Structure 1
Amino acid sequence: MNVEAVKLKSRTPLLLAATIFSLLTVIPQQTHAAPGDLDTTFSQSGVKTLPLTPYRMDSYPVPIAVQSDGKIILGATACCQTGGDFFLIVRLASDGSLDGTFGVDGKAAVHIGRSDSFLRSLLVQGDGKIVAVGTAELPSVSFALARFTTNGALDNSFGPAGNGTLTTEFPISGEPFAAAIQPDQEIVVVGVGRESGHEVFALARYQTNGNPDTSFGSGGKVVSAPIGSSDSWAYAVALQADNKIVVAGGAYLGSSSGFALARYDSHGGLDSSFGLGANGTLISPIGTSAYGQGVAVQTDGKIVAAGSASTGGFALVRYDAAGKLDTSFGQMGKVTTNIGASSSTLEGVVVQPDGKIVAAGTAVFSGQNQLAVARFNSDGSLDNTFGLGGKATTAGCPGARAIAVQGDGRILVTWGASSSDFCLVRFLGDSADVVLTMSFDPGQVSTGTNLTYTIMVVNNGPESASSVVVLDMLPEGVTLVAASPTQGSCTGSNRVACALGTVGKGSSVTVKIVVRPTIAGVLTNTANVTSNTPDPNKIDNIISVNLMVAQSLRFLPWVVVGTLSVGFTLAVVATRKSKRRRGTSS
């Protein structure tokens, strides 16, 4: 199952023993929490059980997505209100409470097809509309999509019937498992179809109005030949920056199964520059049995596939952009980690902006299932700054179905707790509250003289901020003289970008930018700061300052022709010299 993709630790210095005792009695436990701990600001315990009354949930994947405003979208397959299973969408506020502005009491539902419809994936468009992807029976199993407006109503501008829904039939059958939205807002859906008696990768692409994109494959659909020796299944999808589509799942290779990947170009053809056989596909065995459940593309173009393997529960494989195993990752490109005492299975993966990899699934302890999360460094080793040795578990939910990382770095994991409840868990992630200030000197300046802007970046923690960049969009009417940071380097002239590297908790970096104004008037200088570490308070990441620049005066040479006595006054007259046009007087 693909997961869309896709910042609280504080340690107050205590000086006196009495103060220590006093503070320990009043400071909430969350103050001392670290990445991988349950977020007790979420439903008080970090675990929220959400009743679905009046509906009942079937045991199918529980997808999750996070809106840009921090609201949380959950999906499920529900039943018993329309005579068959149907899509159910629930929206929560960032604190986990139901959002009453969405649908009816925070819930919206739709039934598609003649019988049951099962929800598999959720997407949030750039305009905030929500796309639900799953199956419908027509009577054969088919791709089914529904789009909801931001208030939970079906979007009548979507789908050929103008009712907010659509279906796509494949030869024999087509069952979707994952979806993604391209930068142009077209929707890519991947799943399993049938070809020559085998299960195979199946894809479809839709325009923003829901119509098939006929430039993709055949009439907007692609059905690939089998990968491996027989059946292959597509469970996850990720989009590259060049619009190529990476699909991951599993395939048989003889009597064993392994991770299966395929890469398609923007028109739906297999990409011959990918895979060992230059045919756009590959299989990676891990033990006797393995399959991929998630896939992500890193900023450097490397591809991370994640799933489960018989050799050790959670399994990760990383490839370079050509599909070759990345030998700098784990053991020759592969990592296996068993989270539980006996076994564990992985359901979803997300790559953080700093390159760390977060995976979620189910672990078994003493015969009991628990929700499990593991975080890996970019080299594949477990991240010991997260949880206990890179792992975090909770018995509050009996497993995980999907994972998402919020804009503030906190990690959300979902599960269907029972036939009548959602289970949602939030863990703390890394965060760094980076603050930007700006001043200028001198306070009064005229054209032709130097002006210095001093920009300071302060990291209030609780973690280090990595890959910090200050961007200063210099105003028109100034010429850059110099830009110098106390660490890192600056480039550009009108657009000055300063790469400052890592700024530790409690540390600061100063950037001095010297300019020379060339025109009089008000100068407005705006700068902003970004970091690969999530920032829980972005309002102080941008700053603007205004300065009035005066026009400098140029005086003609003058000569002293005598000596002034006390009581006499000398008047100096400044004359502006201008060109006189013919036919005018000066």
Structure 2
Amino acid sequence: MNVEAVKLKSRTPLLLAATIFSLLTVIPQQTHAAPGDLDTTFSQSGVKTLPLTPYRMDSYPVPIAVQSDGKIILGATACCQTGGDFFLIVRLASDGSLDGTFGVDGKAAVHIGRSDSFLRSLLVQGDGKIVAVGTAELPSVSFALARFTTNGALDNSFGPAGNGTLTTEFPISGEPFAAAIQPDQEIVVVGVGRESGHEVFALARYQTNGNPDTSFGSGGKVVSAPIGSSDSWAYAVALQADNKIVVAGGAYLGSSSGFALARYDSHGGLDSSFGLGANGTLISPIGTSAYGQGVAVQTDGKIVAAGSASTGGFALVRYDAAGKLDTSFGQMGKVTTNIGASSSTLEGVVVQPDGKIVAAGTAVFSGQNQLAVARFNSDGSLDNTFGLGGKATTAGCPGARAIAVQGDGRILVTWGASSSDFCLVRFLGDSADVVLTMSFDPGQVSTGTNLTYTIMVVNNGPESASSVVVLDMLPEGVTLVAASTTQGTCTGSNRVACTLGTVGKGSSVTVKIVVRPTIAGVLTNTANVTSNTPDPNKIDNIISVNLMVAQSLRFLPWVVVGTLSVGFTLAVVATRKSKRRRGTSS
């Protein structure tokens, strides 16, 4: 650290000498938690078991969704009340605690149909309303939807009966498994129907008020011909930027089964530009048995299907936009990975904004089921920066049913732990090393003059930092003049908070805070930066700069006493008694 003393010459304007120095405050570095580690800020251990009292959970999928404000929506099929099984929705705060502003003690329930209704999928609309999708018995199995307001009440603006629910019957039966919301907020639901004695892909699309979209298929419904040699099942759906609908599942091809995909245009017709046979469908065998459980569309238009295969547990297949295998991915477009010591099955997949693929499911170790997550690079190789060699497991839950990635990159995985509990696990995602520096100008400052602090926020990556905030607790003895930032907004007076939003990898933001010192002496200014994205190196998130402020005499009360004689010689003496100037002559 260099300290420079500024020597003032005699007979210069009356300013006190200033000594200027900078000091970087050092705090002990915290232990770095890596991507794939359990997030100990969530329920202290990263694993939360949530009792469903007074309900019980039936053995069906446990879907999950995340609101834009970070609140977590869980769904389950609950039982043991009059009328059979029913939909149960639970909302949690971002820390995993029950959100008491939703429903009754954070829970909302609805029964649809004559007997049992089973929940399969959850969606959050742009306006925050929650759509639950599942089955109802009418008496045949049918699509069933319910929409809840943001406070957990059934939305009476949804559904033909004005009660927040609706059902859709298919020939023989229709069982939904997945759903998606289009940019125009219409709802697409996919599942399994029956046609010519076989199980087939079935779809329905609804307007925002729940009415069938009659421009889609026949009366808002589509029942496809069988894919492959006999039965085919639709388990997942993803929407392309051009409004085409990609559906994934499984189908038989002779005595074996494989991944089955179909792509539909915006009106529900099979897209002839997709698939090898120009019929909008395809089958990808992996070993003797495979089926898809999840599907996602990358930003470059490539399609990732994920599921399980007899040859290696977790299975991924990537296609180009035309449905051809992407040979740059894995081995000729396919990847298989066994997580457990004996077997593993995949239940869900998401593609991160950076193109990495995160899959969740169940792995078996020494006869014990464990929740398992694996992350893959965009070329299909395991991501060694995640967990142990790209894999993370925990015995805290005996498996996974669904996966979601929060806006801050943390990974949520759900399971129905028992008949009376949810099990929810949160893993750390990618991190961003956000560095804070501070300088000041001018180098010499006195009371009553403006001083500008320049704070630089730099993200060294490896990922974007979300919800970045710079907080500067201004010291006593200064008055705020202005605060500005090249990205976001700054507010406050004695406490300046600059909300910067997301700072991308390799990007920087400049914050300028102008103050006017009112007291001479050492001025210590401290600023810190926070982000929702985990930071591996918090030592550089805080900085303090010290500055010696000089006292300017132009603000001192003073008196000049002069004696005039022949030749007009004036002798001046400065005092601190009065501002009035007097003179005498002889």
Equivalent residue, structure 1, for 2:206: 206
Contact 1:8/1:431 (8 A) holds in 2: no
More displaced stretch, 466-475 vs 24-33: 466-475
59-68 or 18-27, larger mean C-alpha shift: 18-27
Give the secondary-structure state (helix, strand or coil) at the position aligned to 1:501. Answer: strand
Cα deviation code 1:424-470 (max 9, x no counterpart): 00000003265899999999999999999999551276867799999
Quick one: structure 1 residues 356 and 96, their matched pair in 2 at CA, closer, same or farther if it must change by over 3 Å?
same
- Seen in structure 2, the aligned counterparts of structure 1 residues 135 and 504 have a Cα distance that, compared at 3 Å, is closer
Percent sequence identity over aligned pairs:
99
18-27 or 56-65, larger mean C-alpha shift: 18-27
The residue that corresponds to 1:516 in the other structure is 516
2:465 matched residue in structure 1: 465
Inter-partner Cα distance in structure 1 for 2:555 and 2:532: 53
2:413 & 2:430 partners in 1: Cα distance?
Answer: 16
* 3-state SS, counterpart of residue 235 of structure 1: strand
Which segment drifts farther, 430-439 or 77-86?
Answer: 430-439
Could you give the per-residue CA deviations for residues 483-515 of structure 1, whole angstroms, max 9, x where no partner exists? 999999999999999999999999968899999
Q: Residue 4 of structure 1 contacts residue 180 of structure 1 at CA under 8 Å; is this kept in 2?
A: no
Q: CA shift at 1:82, angstroms? A: 2.4
1:32 Cα deviation after fit? 2.3
Does the 8 Å CA contact 1:472/1:525 hold for their aligned counterparts?
A: yes
Residue range with higher mean Cα deviation, 472-481 or 374-383? 472-481
Whole-angstrom distance in 1 between the partners of 2:12 and 2:106: 39
Post-superposition shift, 1:81? Answer: 1.7
**Secondary structure in 2 matching 1:278:** coil
5+ residue gaps, structure 1, are none
Cα gap change, 1:445 to 1:31, in 2 (>3 Å) = closer
**TM-score, normalised to structure 2's length?**
0.74
Residue 83 of structure 1, CA deviation: 3.2
Q: Deviations over 1:32-65 (max 9, x none)?
A: 2110000111111110000000000000000000
d(CA) in 2 for partners of 1:522, 1:301: 58
SS at match of 1:27: coil
Provide closer, same or farther for how the CA distance between residues 562 and 411 of structure 1 changes in structure 2, counting only shifts above 3 A.
closer
Classify 1:20/1:56 alpha carbon distance in 2 versus 1 (closer, same or farther; 3 Å): farther
After superposition, the Cα gap between the structure-2 partners of 1:21 and 1:385, relative to the gap in structure 1 and judged at 3 Å, is farther
Structure 1 CA distance for aligned equivalents of residues 544 and 26 of structure 2:
38
Deviation at 1:17, TM superposition (A): 40
SS of the counterpart of 1:12? Answer: coil
- Cα distance change of structure 1 residues 132 and 454 upon mapping to structure 2, 3 Å threshold: same
User: 1:94-146, CA deviations, whole angstroms, 9 ceiling, x for partnerless residues?
Assistant: 01000000000000000000000000000000000000000000000000000
Secondary structure in 1 matching 2:574:
coil
User: Displacement of 1:10 after TM fit?
Assistant: 52
Deviation at 1:561, TM superposition (A): 42
Contact 1:415-1:424 at 8 Å conserved across structures: yes
SS at match of 1:32: coil
Question: For 1:113, what is the secondary structure of its paired residue?
Answer: coil
Cα separation, 2, equivalents of 1:267 and 1:364 = 43
Deviates more, 1:19-28 or 1:72-81: 19-28
Structure 2 CA distance for aligned equivalents of residues 289 and 13 of structure 1: 90
Taking a change above 3 Å as real, the CA distance of residues 460 and 318 of structure 1, as seen in their structure-2 partners, is: closer
The whole-number CA distance in structure 1 between the counterparts of 2:22 and 2:523 is 50
Q: CA deviation at 1:566?
A: 22
- Number of residue pairs the alignment of both structures matches: 586
Structure 1 residue 31, shift from structure 2 partner: 3.4
Cα 1:367–1:204, aligned 2, differ >3 Å: closer, same or farther?
Answer: same
Shift of 1:14: 46
> Cα 1:539–1:86, aligned 2, differ >3 Å: closer, same or farther?
farther
Q: Deviations over 1:220-258 (max 9, x none)?
A: 000000000000000000000000000000000000000
Tell me the distance in 2 between the aligned counterparts of 1:274 and 1:309: 24
> How far does residue 299 in structure 1 lie from its aligned partner after superposition?
0.3
Give the ranges of 4+ consecutive aligned residues of structure 1 lying more than 6 Å apart after TM superposition.
1-30, 435-455, 464-507, 509-586
> In the alignment, is the contact (CA less than 8 A) between 2:5 and 2:19 conserved in 1?
no
CA-to-aligned-CA distance 1:145-164 (integer Å, 9 cap, x gap) = 00000000000000000000
TM-score, L = length of structure 1: 0.74
8 Å CA contact 1:519–1:549 kept in 2: the answer is: yes
Structure 2 counterparts to residues 297-336 of structure 1, below 5 A: 297-336=297-336
Task: Indicate conservation of the 8 Å contact 2:257/2:289, yes or no.
Answer: yes
Number of the residue aligned with 1:173 = 173
Contact 1:3 1:63 (C-alpha < 8 Å) held by counterparts: no
- The 2-side partners of 1:150 and 1:585 are apart by 86
The Cα of 1:527 is off from its aligned counterpart by 20
Contact 1:251 1:257 in 2 (8 A): yes
Q: Is the contact between residue 89 and residue 109 of structure 1 (CA under 8 Å) also seen in structure 2?
A: yes
Question: Which has the larger Rg?
Answer: 2
Q: Which moved more, 1:148-157 or 1:425-434?
A: 425-434
8 Å Cα contact 1:440/1:453 also seen in 2: yes
Distance 1:496 1:96, change over 3 A: closer
Gaps (5+ residues) in structure 2?
A: none
